[in-house]
Amino acid sequence: MRSTITLPEFKATSEYTLIDAVTRYVKSELYPRESITIDELTKLLFVAQGCTRRRWGLCFKTVPSAGATFPLEVYAICHNVENVKPAIYAYSSQRPLEGELEHVAPIDSKLQIDIPRALDVVIVAHYERTTRTYGRRGYRYVYNEVGHCIQNIILESALLGISCDVKVIRNEGERESIRTALRTEGDPLAVLRVGVPIKSSKSLGIGEGRQLTPLEKAIINRRSIRSYSKRPLSLEQLMLILKYSIGFIDKNRRSYPRLNDSYLVNCIVLVGNVEGLEKGLYRYNSHKNELELIRRGYYLDNLYGACLYQDYVRDAQCDLVFTMREGADPFLAHVETGAIGQNVYLLAASLDLGTVAIGAFYDDRVKSIIDVDILPTYVMPIGTL
């Protein structure tokens, strides 16, 4: 029988917001750490796959869980963590704010590190949990889910002031090597290295966005919300969501890891009821943080039909449609979309707004509405409550 370690309860102790975390991340106001505390380990694992509440017999997680199919597992390779023996552990969280580590194996020689650091977090996917409900489209949802998970860890590590980078695992030989070391039948898709040295950058400081709910509370409060009021959305709120989910924070970096040589995802906004904006179709310019009018008109009803007649698409004040760049790697683009989507969720929770990630839609119909011949990856309504 495997031994287990009960982790401390997750506590939302930081007053820093998502904007603070993004500023730290983008400007590299983070520090290499060859060791971390067990409380820091708890936070990093909880934000990845922690249970925030139980309802209908299900454990709702810090990330959307691919339509309640829960395809991901998280493993911790603890190199130097306070009161934790160096080894490979499986993380589990079945009660709100609680978690435990189950010992899996010693650290395999192939997983020994050349760069000193405290921890590796491995994200493992079990596709069949999702594809048996959603068919082949379920692969998209799993890749999205990986992005959601990655982004929460990136933001929390920034909040803690600990450096962290991410490696998406593409090579099947490397996947098999890690799979064997973890003793899992799942597919290892990403490794986050916590405490690695990184290049520093000019400080921007933190403190912008004091009106937002603190990030750790937003992570606990994150929900898929499908019912909205009739009140208009403010333009300021919309632009803040766009900037800190998919916009460039400085000239080179967005708020999430770049998984390729360049970012792969863009955004089209369908506006229905936003103060100061005409109804219409807009292209988001992520470099300038500006909306560029494509054409006037009300398109939320059209998108509602393309999204399998899900009412919240047309009930929202606006809809964000994320698209992959032409020629982009679909796997990487869907992971990136998930990271963006997690930002949208957390910003909505921070602003007392509602959103939900939608992956079920007719691709061709969405493309015809937004008038682009590139693949849509997510639709996310933004609604007032």
Give the bridge partners for 324, in sequence order.
265
Contact (CB, 8 A) for 270 and 318: yes
CA separation for the pair 71, 193 (Å, rounded) = 22
Residue 1: predicted pLDDT: 61
Residue 207: predicted pLDDT: 47
Segment 260-265 shows an average pLDDT of: 94
Segment 258-282 shows an average pLDDT of: 97
Instruction: Return the structure tokens found at 210.
Output: 């004091």
pLDDT in tens, 7-21: 999 999 999 999 999
Phi, psi torsion values for 192, nearest 5 degrees: -105, 120
- List the domain boundaries for the chain: 4-194, 225-384
Model confidence at 201: pLDDT above 60? no
**Which tops the pLDDT comparison, 251 or 192?**
192
Residues 6+ apart with CB under 8 A from 379: 303, 307, 313, 319, 320, 321, 322, 358, 359, 361, 366
Residue 27: predicted pLDDT: 84
pLDDT interval class at 52 (50, 70, 90): very high
Average pLDDT, the chain: 94
CA separation for the pair 7, 76 (Å, rounded) = 13
Model confidence at 329: pLDDT above 60? yes
CATH number of 225-384: 3.40.109.10
pLDDT in tens, 108-134: 877 777 778 999 999 999 999 999 999
Cα separation values, 356 from 7, 160, 235, 353, 378, Å? 30, 27, 19, 11, 10
pLDDT in tens, 143-183: 999 999 999 999 999 999 999 999 999 999 999 999 999 99
CATH architecture observed for domain 4-194: 3-Layer(aba) Sandwich (3.40)
Residue 206: predicted pLDDT: 43
The least confident of 20-34, 90-104, 305-319 is 20-34
Residue 209: predicted pLDDT: 54
Cα separation values, 326 from 50, 106, 288, 376, Å? 35, 43, 21, 11
Residue 210: predicted pLDDT: 58
Give the bridge partners for 290, in sequence order.
285
Of 86, 80, 93, 85, nearest to 52 (Cα)? 93
Residue 116: predicted pLDDT: 84
Residue 366: predicted pLDDT: 97
Model confidence at 198: pLDDT above 70? no
DSSP E strands in the chain: the ranges are 4-6, 51-55, 58-61, 72-78, 87-92, 100-105, 119-125, 164-168, 187-194, 265-271, 280-285, 290-296, 318-324, 353-355, 376-384
CA separation for the pair 363, 53 (Å, rounded) = 33
Segment 27-44 shows an average pLDDT of: 91
Residue 202: predicted pLDDT: 46
Segment 40-60 shows an average pLDDT of: 95
CB count in 10 Å sphere of residue 100 = 16
CB count in 10 Å sphere of residue 109 = 7
Would you give the distance in Å from CA 28 to the centre of its chain?
19
The least confident of 2-6, 113-117, 304-308, 350-354 is 113-117
User: Percentage of the chain surpassing pLDDT 90?
Assistant: 87
Residue 208: predicted pLDDT: 52
Model confidence at 359: pLDDT above 50? yes
Same CATH fold, 225-384 and 4-194? yes
pLDDT in tens, 202-231: 444 444 555 799 999 999 999 999 999 999
Full-model pTM? 0.95
Model confidence at 197: pLDDT above 80? no
Instruction: Return the structure tokens found at 59.
Output: 């454990």
Q: What does DSSP assign to residue 179?
A: H
Q: What does DSSP assign to residue 167?
A: E
Give the bridge partners for 355, in sequence order.
382
